Amino acid sequence: MDIILKENVEKLGFKNEIVSVKNGYGRNYLIPNGLGILATENAVKILEENLRQQDKKEATEIGLKILKDGGNAIDAAVATAAVLTLVEPHSTSLGGDAFIMVYLAEEKKLVGLNASGRAPYAMTLDALNGKLEKHDMNRIGGIYSVTVPGAVDGWFEVLEKYGTMTMAEVLEPAIHYAEHGFPVSPIIADAWRSLENNQEPSTRETWLLDGKRAPRAGEVFRNPDLAETYRLLGKEGRDAFYKGSIAKKIVAYSDAHDGFFTMKDFEDHTSTWVEPIYADYKNYRLYELPPNGQGIAALEMIKILDNVDLGSMGHNSAEYLHHVIEAKKLAYADIDKWNSDPEFNDLPIKEIISTEYGRQQFERINPTRAMERPESGINGNGDTVLLEVMDKDHNAVSFIYSLYSGFGSGLVAPGTGFTLQNRGALFSREPGHVNVVEPHKRPFHTIIPAMAFKDGEFFMTFGAMGGAVQPQQHAQIFLNVVEFGMNMQQAVEIPRINHGGGLSVTVEPGINEEVLTQLEAWGHELRRRTTRGGVGGAQGIMFNILTGVMIGGSTPHKDGMAVAY
C-alpha cells in the first residue's frame, strides 16, 4: 500500500482522527493519527508495535521475524547484521568492526559498545614502514591495513548482556540464506562488480560466481563457507573466532602474505563498554559514542550551530547551508588533529563539545565568505551498513557495522567465507600524531551510531553511512527533525549536501538554483549532482512517548526499507 486514502480508512478499521503529512517533495499523505501503517514511496512506517529498518530486504525481514517470534531489539539487530554480512558483502563482514548504542527502556538507560579492533602487537611504525618499503607500497594497504576484526566479539557482548536469544538461534536465518542462496539486488549488484578486478584467489573463489564474475541483479548467490563459520560461532561461541579455528585460518593467511598477526592478537581482543557523549541543542540532547569514532564532530557541529537562529534562515537556504558547511570544516579540523584511541592519548573531548568552545568556533565563521582549510581551534600536539531497531517494549538499538572501503582489504582467509576489513588504512604514519600506528592500538574510525532525547526522554535513533560523511549527515538529519519539524522519512530523504575538502561541496538535486548561485558567490565550489547521491545513505526511527507511535525512514540511496508489525 503506497498511500492510505481517506475514503479507505473506514474499510481498514481506522476510526482515529486523520492528519495530513507533507513530505519533502510536496506530496501529501493521510495518516491515521496514532495507529496503522503508512508506506510512502520510500517506506515510512508509522505504528504502535515493533519497527525495524535496514539496508536490505532479506535482512530487514529477518529482523522483523525475530521481533514477531518474541525476540527483542538486540536479538533482531544481531540477526540482521549476520544476514547483511552475506547479502551486502561490499559493505560489511565478520571481518569488520561495529559500534553499537542501546537504549534500555525499562531502566531509561543508554549504553554504548566499541567493538572495533586493534593493530597487531608487532605493528610498530618502523616495522610497518619496513614492510611497505619491502613490498613497494606507498600507503597502508593489503594485509597491513587489516586490524583484528572486532564485530564478532561485539555481537556476543551485546547479545549476552541484553538479548533474550542465543547466538545459535539468531544465526539460523543467516545460515539458511548462506546455504540456499538469496537474489542479489540492483544497487548491491553494481557495487559487487568492483571485485572482478581483485586478483586474490581465495577472494574470487568466495565472492565471484565460478571465481570469474560478480552476480548480476536477480541472480541467486550462495556462500557455504560463511554458513560453516556461522555454525562454528553458534556451537563454540566467540572463542571459535578469537582462539579457535577461525583465528588460526586468519593468522595462517597473514603469515602467507608476510603480515604481522599472531594468535595473541586475537586472544587478547576485547570490546569496550563506553559511556555515550552528548551535546545539548535547545530541549534536545544528541548522543554519540566517544573516540576512536568520529561522532564527536557531529556534536561539535551542533554546539557551533546552537549560536545562531537556524530556523529563521529557512531549510536549505544559502545562509543555512553556508553555516552548516563552515561548522563542518571547523569540527573536522579538530577530529583530523585529535581523534584517536583514547587509551593511548589524553584527548580534549570535553573541551571540543563544550558550549564555550562552540561559541569560540562560531565566531570564526564569516557569514558571507567560505573558509578553505581552517586549522583546529585547540592548541597542542597530539562502506558501511547501518541498522536501527525498536521493539514493542521501546528498547532501541543503533548498530553500525562496516569494512571501511568497498570489500575492505579485498582479502579472504580461505575457508572462512568473509572479507577482512581495511580499517588500519586510517592510521597515520606521521611520527608524534595522536593517530599514529602503534601496537595493539585502535585506529581513527568513521562509523558512528546516534540517538537523541527530547526533554529527557528517548526520542530518536538514527545514523548515516558513507565513511567521512557521517558526522555532517548526522548534524543535517538531526536539524531537519528538531529545527524544521520533519518526520524521519523527510529528514533522510530531502536533498542534503556534503562538504569534501577545501572549498568543494557536493549538492544533491532539488536545492534551489538561487541558493547554489549565492553559495558560489561566497566562495564555495559546488559539485552539482544530476542524480541523488554523494551524501551517504541514512535511516532512523522516531518515537513519540505520549502516543507510543514510531516513525521509521530509509533513504533511497541504498537498498533499504522500513518494516513493522
Catalytic residues: 384
Alpha carbon distances (Å) from 22 to 485, 486, 489, 552: 11, 9, 11, 15
Residues 6+ apart with CB under 8 A from 171: 79, 82, 230, 231, 233, 234
| Exposure class string for 63-83: b at 16+ Cβ within 10 A, else e | bbbbbeeebbbbbbbbbbbbb
Give me the residue label for grid cell 565513511: 467
DSSP one-letter code for 226: H
Distance CA 413, CA 405 (A): 18
Distance CA 113, CA 447 (A): 12
H or E segment to which residue 549 belongs? strand 549-554
Listed residue (439, 429, 538, 549) closest to 493, CA to CA: 538
Q: Count Cα neighbours of 18 within 13 Å in the Cβ-side half-sphere.
A: 16
The 10 Å Cβ neighbour count of residue 156 is 20
Residues 6+ apart with CB under 8 A from 469: 498, 535, 536
Q: Count Cα neighbours of 139 within 13 Å in the Cβ-side half-sphere.
A: 9
Residues 6+ apart with CB under 8 A from 179: 222, 224, 227
